[in-house]
Amino acid sequence: MDLFLRLVMPVFGLMGARLAGAGFGFLSQLLIARAFAPEQAGIAFLALSVTTFLSLVLTGGYHAIGLTYLARYQAFGRQRLVRSFLEAARRDMLLLALMALGLAGLLWLLPADRSVVAAAFWGTLAAIPLAAIRLNNSAANAQKRFALSYAPDFVFRPVLLLLVVLSLVGLGATQSVLSLLVSLPLIALAVAAGQSLLLGPDDALRMGDGGNGKALAPFFRGRAAAMLAVTLAGGATADLVVMIGGLFLPVEEVAVLGVAIRVATLAGFFAMASQQFVLRDLVSARASGSPAALETVLHRTNVTSLLTIGAVLLGLAVLGPTILAVFGPHYAAAYWPLLVFLLGQAVRVMGGMNAQILALGGHQTRSAALCLAVVASLVVLAALLAPIWGVMGLAVATLLAESVWAVGLALMTQALEGRRADLFAPRTQLPATTGGGPA
């Protein structure tokens, strides 16, 4: 199996894996929407969002900084520092997991909708092994076992979920979504165990010691927490919106919300895919010190992304009702929220590659305050607008939060790097590098 991964997955590539995972996830959501009643589909969408969002929180951000720290320590043969990092990560992640389990158990004591509580409970159980997968992704990446750093999470887990949904549909077991909820932690646990087995001695979850994790934990913890804020603001807002919807909306409206925001997020993912493909060109242009080369890469990428999201927005404005009809008649109500969510994706696209420029300059941790402000603004706006406008209120809140994110990134990039990388940045800006070092 490991030989197969080494031969096939490098060809498939990280972007291919992410595209495939997005496709499998979309198919699963489509089948859930068609096969289950809207109130059952809403519960499933809520559980999936709880799993994804909470799994990031349960890593404490260690999976994000591990991509840098573990790779650096491995490259220089600093095995004691590797062990120290993993000890600190395991300790903090274990504490976070225990806290999450305790809160999930307490939910059953609250006078809340039992279906929402069930979604939160099973989603929390699934988030714990998924957090372990995320840490092992970083460990595998540091060991240059790249297939094992993305295939389990981006390919195998979505495929298993799709197979479970297909099985339930084939068996006619679609009256209740409980079986699907129970499968979520089982799928995550199976993938985590398989990844751990294939990693062998490189498994980050093996309870070895020999490092100095307790002493270095404060150093790692602060940086991990900052990167967690960046991760949540940059890639988990859709799941946060669905979770907020679960607090304020009936579950059948959560189903509409889930379809609208997932279709919009998928469109945004494809629109911004070009940014991933030009990262190597961006690094080369920035390192060359040539303002013209850097400007050319940024302008070409921004225009391509904008044209893509513009075409998607126009296409869904025309074909949206037809596409939503595939999910079922209940989801016709997702049309206008979908367009507003797409406008939010367009705002993110127009924000360009400011986030990548900050990352290349080593400024990710400095943007933590901005990221927390974005998440806080989303939560506050959603809590204010959802009770008034329902799904549309959450869409408007997301659009406003995306605007805060785009403007904040532009201002921060200008301040730290001497130039912006968004669509509206003046093309006469010259400094290609500022020598910014790691924060």
Residue with tokens 């220089």: 76
Q: Is residue 230 part of a domain?
A: no
Q: Is residue 226 part of a domain?
A: no
208 plus 251 within the same structural domain: no
187 plus 274 within the same structural domain: no
| End residue of a domain, out of 221, 246, 276 | 221
Q: Residue 433's CB: how many other CB atoms inside 10 A?
A: 19
| End residue of a domain, out of 221, 247, 269 | 221
pLDDT along the chain (439 residues), means of 10: 45 65 90 96 97 97 90 84 88 95 88 90 97 94 86 93 96 94 98 92 70 78 91 90 95 97 89 70 72 79 86 94 96 97 93 82 81 94 96 97 93 87 69 42
> Quick one: pLDDT at residue 274?
67
> Quick one: pLDDT at residue 392?
98
> Quick one: pLDDT at residue 14?
63
243 plus 213 within the same structural domain: no
> Quick one: pLDDT at residue 433?
45
CA distance 152 to 137: 8
What is the domain count for the chain? 2
At residue 424's C-alpha, the angle toward residues 421 and 428, to 5°, is 70
Give the domain extent around 293.
236-439
**Contacts of 345 by beta carbon, 8 Å cutoff, 6+ apart:** 264, 265, 267, 268, 271, 309, 402
**Contacts of 439 by beta carbon, 8 Å cutoff, 6+ apart:** 362, 363, 364, 365, 366
CB-facing half-sphere around the CA of 130: CA atoms within 13 A:
27
> Quick one: pLDDT at residue 279?
65
pTM: 0.89
314 plus 209 within the same structural domain: no
CB 180 within 8 A of CB 188: no
At residue 117's C-alpha, the angle toward residues 116 and 121, to 5°, is 120
CA distance 328 to 315: 19
At residue 311's C-alpha, the angle toward residues 307 and 317, to 5°, is 145
Q: Is residue 388 part of a domain?
A: yes
CA distance 310 to 268: 10
Q: How many helices (H) does the chain have, and how many strands (E)?
A: 18, 0
Q: Is residue 231 part of a domain?
A: no
> 146-169: string of b/e by CB count within 10 Å (b at 16+)?
bbbbbbbbbbbbbbbbbebbeebe
